[in-house]
Each structure stands twice: as structure tokens, then as C-alpha cells.
Amino acid sequence: MNNTSEKLENMPNIGNVLAKKLISIDIKTPAQLIETGSEKVFLKLKTIDKNACFNMLCAIEGAIQNIRWHNLTDFRKNELLDFYRQFK
């Protein structure tokens, strides 16, 4: 599947609620999500959702990789966890 031509909701891990949050920070397409990257997107989400959590960060990364977030490599999960802990 080519995420760049799909709607956000068609990406793995992106349901209606997260899609609405992404749209509210001007991430309106899968291409924009991929281009921006999970860390930058998460920081923007934190500005509108103080409860943005580690699972949300992983969900975004999984969507970018076109996989369920549970299937992220342990290495990438640890990178994301280190990043998340800076802003907790």
C-alpha cells in the first residue's frame, strides 16, 4: 500500500480520533505525516493534547512505517522511549 495516496485513517494505527488531532496541527495527509516524522509530529500534538502518550508516539511511527506499532523493532521503540522521556 502506498500511504502517500491514502487518507490518514487508512494508515495503520490512525483512527478517527488521532486523525482529527493530526488535522488540527495541519498534518492532513499521509505524505505530510511521513515528511514531518514521528518526533516532530508528536511535539506538535503535545501542544494541543497534554495527555499525548508514548503509545501515541509509537502509533505515529508505526503509521509512518506502514506497520502496527506493536511490530516496531525494539531498537526503534527504545529510541522513541528516550525521546518521549525528554518531554514527559
What are 69-81's pLDDT values in tens digits? 999 999 999 999 9
Query: In terms of residue numbers, what domain contains 52?
Result: 3-85
Cα separations in angstroms, 20 against 7, 30, 37, 82:
12, 13, 17, 26
Q: What is the pLDDT of residues 41-74, one digit of tens each?
A: 999 999 999 999 999 999 999 999 999 999 999 9
Provide the domain count of the chain. Answer: 1
Q: The whole model's pTM is what?
A: 0.91
User: What CATH number should be reported for the domain holding residue 57?
Assistant: 1.10.150.20
d(CA 27, CA 14): 12
